[in-house]
Amino acid sequence: MLKRVAPPLSGATQRVLTLSCCYSDAGYGALKPLLKNRFTGSYYFAVQEIEFADAITNWAMFYKKKTISRPHQAVVTQINKFFGEDILEFGLI
């Protein structure tokens, strides 16, 4: 399925994956080798468990600030500042 949804990247194209569930940090670590050449980065939750309302608020803020032309542009600091703790992280793939 990954081959259809996310074909290999070419040139300087960037594509990010958002992992929006509990233990998504472990998912990022496990998926990272499989995502190479298909994604250039991933946003995921740094906390092991996250309340549904916090997850929805996080992603609403994320998509309001994120641009397609610059998917790696930093939004993590602003979101974490809003929550008062480091709940969101970005990792390169």
**Taking the complete model, does pTM exceed 0.75, yes or no?**
yes
Question: Phi, psi at residue 48, to the nearest 5°?
Answer: -70, -40
Please tell me the predicted confidence (pLDDT) of residue 91. Answer: 94
Q: Is residue 81 part of a domain?
A: yes
CA distance 5 to 19: 15
Q: Can you list the alpha helix ranges (DSSP code H) found in the chain?
A: 2-5, 24-35, 52-65, 76-83
Q: Say what the alpha-carbon torsion angle 25, 5, 79, 67 is, to the nearest 10 degrees.
A: 150
Domain span at residue 49?
Answer: 16-92
Q: Is residue 10 part of a domain?
A: no
Q: Is residue 32 part of a domain?
A: yes
More confident site: 73 or 87: 87
Which residue from 71, 76, 65 is spatially nearest to 12, judged by alpha carbons? 71
Please tell me the predicted confidence (pLDDT) of residue 67. Answer: 75
Q: Answer yes or no: is pLDDT of 88 > 80.
A: yes
Q: Is residue 66 part of a domain?
A: yes
Task: Give the tens place of pLDDT for each residue, 29-80.
Answer: 999 999 999 999 999 999 999 999 999 999 999 888 877 777 777 789 889 9
